[in-house]
Amino acid sequence: QQQVKQSPQSLIVQKGGISIINCAYENTAFDYFPWYQQFPGKGPALLIAIRPDVSEKKEGRFTISFNKSAKQFSLHIMDSQPGDSATYFCAASMGSGNNAGNMLTFGGGTRLMVKP
């Protein structure tokens, strides 16, 4: 079974701190690793994504670190803000090739609270 394991389930960080969320996967055929951000009562929205040909990708305060040999990837939120409080999902898929779809396997989610 294709699985993506995410930790921690919940995280509390002080404003200005660093939030770190980790994910591990099993299927070595996965080649696309996005992170989604979800606010209460809303659908998830893509935050940042990485492909396995790079070890790190940074967009503003958000960084993905990718360790292919360990089959792990993580999201780092620098200078965390109260507005970052949301649920974060990692995901993985086999996005390459001629597949007409991009079926994502999601981690269990991390509920982040950033205290002012």
Partner 1 sequence: DGGITQSPKYLFRKEGQNVTLSCEQNLNHDAMYWYRQDPGQGLRLIYYSQIVNDFQKGDIAEGYSVSREKKESFPLTVTSAQKNPTAFYLCASSTSGFAEAFFGQGTRLTVV
| Site of tokens 């620098």 | 78
52 binds partner 1 (CB under 8 A): no
116 binds partner 1 (CB under 8 A): no
41 binds partner 1 (CB under 8 A): yes
Rg (CA), the chain: 14
Q: How far apart are CA 65 and CA 58, in angstroms?
A: 9
Cβ nearer to partner 1, comparing 55 with 96: 96
- Residue 30 CB-half CA count within 13 A: 29
70 binds partner 1 (CB under 8 A): no
Positions that interact with partner 1 (CB under 8 A): 6, 9, 31-32, 34, 36, 41-46, 49, 51, 89, 95-104, 106-109, 111
